[in-house]
Copies of this chain bind each other. A is one copy, B any other.
């Protein structure tokens, strides 16, 4: 286990190009900086943000909306900062995704409600992702609200960037998370209305 100090010294001063150089990134990085940069690099391709599809599309941020409009025509879009995301037939068995687009402040947001089944229990996860970069998400906050008879459940957070995707947030319950019993408290005839409000926040 002898460390090669000479090699380490060299590697500590050598600069490597970003792996997305061919997509236009001009960054030159120390090997210690490389992974973090590439994870956040604006030239890293964006994947299709639709959950529950097998769409393998990838491209630049500018190409995402055109891709959605052409290849995922069935997704409804609502205009405005305050809308209702209506998920129908939430009692359908198995894993299901509900998806809607919301446009406001000159940006597009994808609303996702995902139902998973695990250990015979159903779990719901609702989240908002910005069609934009991680940096752009900091300008926004979203609020998801379920309203029932003398009951209210609210989740407020920063939108996820589609560059990160919703899966790790869902895995960490870093979203509005509820179970079937809660869904029953707030749904009517198997339909669940989620009030979605997007707002701009002061970036410090």
Residues of A within 8 A of B (CB): 119, 121, 141, 150-158, 171-174, 177-179, 181-182, 184-185
A182 to B125, CA, bound (A): 12
Contacts of A156 in B (CB 8 A): 151-154
Q: Are B154 and A154 in contact (CB under 8 A)?
A: yes
Contact call A181/B174, Cβ cutoff below 8 A: yes
Query: Hey, which chain B residues are within 8 Å of A150, CB to CB?
Result: 141, 157-158
Q: Which residue of B lies closest to A145 (CB)?
A: B154
Q: Is the CB of A152 within 8 A of B155?
A: yes
Q: How far is the CA of A181 from the CA of B174 in the complex (A)?
A: 8
> Given A121-B119, A153-B155, A157-B152, is A172 in contact with B177 using a C-beta cutoff of 8 Å?
no
Interchain residue pairs with CB less than 8 A apart (14) = A119-B119, A119-B121, A150-B157, A150-B158, A151-B155, A151-B156, A152-B157, A154-B155, A173-B178, A173-B179, A173-B181, A173-B182, A177-B178, A177-B182
Q: Closest 8 CB pairs between A and B?
A: A173-B181, A154-B154, A152-B156, A119-B119, A173-B182, A151-B157, A150-B158, A172-B181
User: Which chain B residues lie closer than 8 Å to A171 at the CB level?
Assistant: 181
Residues of chain B with a CB closer than 8 A to A182's CB: 173-174, 177
Q: What residues on B are CB-neighbors of A154 within 8 Å? A: 152-156
- Contact A179:B177 (CB < 8 A) given known A151-B157, A152-B157: yes
The answer to whether B158 touches A174, judged by C-beta atoms less than 8 angstroms apart, is no
B contact residues around A155 at 8 Å (CB): 151-154
Q: How far is the CB of A135 from chain B (nearest CB, A)?
A: 14
Additional A-B contact list (4), CB under 8 Å, known A151-B157, A172-B184, A173-B178 = A150-B157, A153-B156, A154-B155, A172-B185
